[in-house]
Structure 1
Amino acid sequence: MKIFEMKQALAGLQTVSFRLPSGEYLPAHFHVTEVGLVSKHFIDCGGVERRETVANFQLWEAGDYDHQLAPQKFLHILKLSEKILGSEDLDIEVEYQQATIGKFGLAFDGTDFVLTQKQTACLAQDACGVAPAQLVALPQLQMAACAPGSGCC
């Protein structure tokens, strides 16, 4: 999800809720403690220099059970962060404290913001000897042939 997409989603909401990949919701009293610009300049294992920049939101919960972030307040925080973020076309990465700080992508399902799992990957598989995943061709199944007792299911 990009900054401009989040602003559009927030404009139509009455409440802000975030859901973890497990389906569990963050407590309603969460805080947005940081909105920042994170730039990563690195070399992959194949020797290619790369750069990555994302908007980073840090979500946190405390004992302030009376606090609930309204969409208008979140939009205000985003407005304040424009001088840091610059572009509304940045992807959003979310940090949330679990056993350690978890990093998530972000999606919106029309009602809730959904923290999505992020995965590591080798960016230079061809250069470092990692075999690309082999695709396995599945036989074409015909619905008419897939009847009880036909052996296809």
Structure 2
Amino acid sequence: MTIAEMKHALAGLDAVAFRLPDGAYLPAHFHVTEVGLVTKHFIDCGGTERRETVANFQLWEAGDYDHRLAPQKFLHILTLSERILGSEDLAIEVEYQQATIGKFGLAFDGTNFILTPKQTACLAQDACGIPNSALVLPQLQVACCTPGGGCC
């Protein structure tokens, strides 16, 4: 999801809700503590120099259970952040504290914002000698046990 897509989604909402990949919702009293510009300048394992820039939102919750972030307030925060983010329509990355700080992508289902899992990947697979077959997970065989069947 990009900044423009989020602004469009927020404009049509009565309330803001974020859902984690496991289906649980962030508590309604969450805060947006940061909106930032994150640029990663790196060299992949094949020696190619790369840059990646995203808009980063940090979501946080405290014990102030009466706090609610209205869509209009979130839009105002995004407008203020244009000084930092610039006019480019950047992809959004979300940070949320769990056992450690989790990084997520962002999607919208028409009602809720969905924190989507992010995955690592080799960006230079041919340079690393990774065969294409190594990139596909094997199909798991699942056996069902029945009560009293002796398999468990």
TM-score, normalised on structure 2? 0.87
Matching residue of 1:103: 103
Amino acid at match of 1:112: N
Matching residue of 1:93: 93
**Preserved CA contact (<8 Å) 1:4 1:88:** no
- The alignment status of 1:124 with 2:124, answered yes or no, reads yes
Structure 1: distance between partners of 2:134 and 2:102: 30
What SS does the corresponding residue of 1:133 show, helix, strand or coil? Answer: helix
Give the superposition deviation at 1:87.
Answer: 2.8
Amino acid at match of 1:77: I
Matching residue of 1:150: none
Amino acid at match of 1:14: D
Structure 1: distance between partners of 2:9 and 2:127: 41
- The alignment status of 1:2 with 2:2, answered yes or no, reads yes
Structure 2: distance between partners of 1:135 and 1:78: 38
The 1:47/1:28 distance shift into structure 2, 3 A limit, reads same
Matching residue of 2:31: 31
Q: RMSD between aligned alpha carbons?
A: 1.4
Larger radius of gyration, structure 1 or 2? 1
Structure 1: distance between partners of 2:35 and 2:16: 16
Amino acid at match of 1:95: E
CA offsets 1:76-133 (integer angstroms, 9 cap, x no match) = 0000000100134100000000000000000000000000000000000000111123
Gaps (5+ residues) in structure 1?
Answer: 137-153
Q: Percent identity between the aligned chains?
A: 84
- The alignment status of 1:113 with 2:113, answered yes or no, reads yes
The number of aligned residues is 136
The 1:135/1:88 distance shift into structure 2, 3 A limit, reads closer
Structure 1: distance between partners of 2:86 and 2:133: 38
Matching residue of 1:40: 40
Q: 4+ runs of 1 displaced by more than 4 Å?
A: none
CA offsets 1:41-88 (integer angstroms, 9 cap, x no match) = 000000000000000000000001010000000000000000100134
Which deviates more, 17-26 or 87-96? 87-96
Gaps (5+ residues) in structure 2?
Answer: 137-152
Which deviates more, 82-91 or 62-71? 82-91
Matching residue of 2:17: 17
**Preserved CA contact (<8 Å) 1:41 1:52:** yes
